[in-house]
Amino acid sequence: MSRVCELTGKGPMTGNNVSHAKNRTRRRFLPNLNDVTLLSEKMGRGYSLRISAAALRSVDHRGGLDAFLAKAKDADLSERALKIKREIAKQDVAAEQQA
């Protein structure tokens, strides 16, 4: 399993450990990834995703998974998240045609 957020594309970064004597050794900064189940109101079901804590706050701020995916860039999303976005878009089109 890769260490990449499925919604934002945030991945590991590199930097230095710096000691008190200013000795520098390379290190990795890993994103704070969590396994969460987000509910889609339009689809009426939950989706299990591996996302960063910052992405989880962004989803809450935008008003849920449906609203977040509507505004998200396709380049940042994983294949699974893109599939969910397309399913929600199909559901919207079907709902508009019935109304």
Residue 66 has pLDDT above 80, yes or no: yes
Q: Is there a domain that residue 50 lies in?
A: yes
Give the CATH number for residue 73: 2.30.170.40
Please state the domain count of the chain.
1
Model pTM above 0.95: no
According to the model, what pLDDT value does residue 98 have? 84
Alpha-carbon span 14 to 3, nearest angstrom = 13
Q: Is there a domain that residue 7 lies in?
A: no
How crowded is residue 42: how many other Cβ atoms within 10 Å of its Cβ? 15
Q: Is there a domain that residue 40 lies in?
A: yes
The string of pLDDT tens digits covering residues 11-62 is: 999 999 999 999 999 999 999 999 999 999 999 999 999 999 999 999 999 9
Q: Is there a domain that residue 19 lies in?
A: yes
Confidence of residue 97 (pLDDT cuts 50, 70, 90): confident
Q: Is there a domain that residue 5 lies in?
A: no
Residue 96 has pLDDT above 90, yes or no: no
Give the structural domain span for 80: 13-98
DSSP E strand stretches across 1-99: 13-18, 24-29, 33-40, 45-52
List phi, psi (to 5°) of 16.
Answer: -125, 140
Alpha-carbon span 99 to 96, nearest angstrom = 5
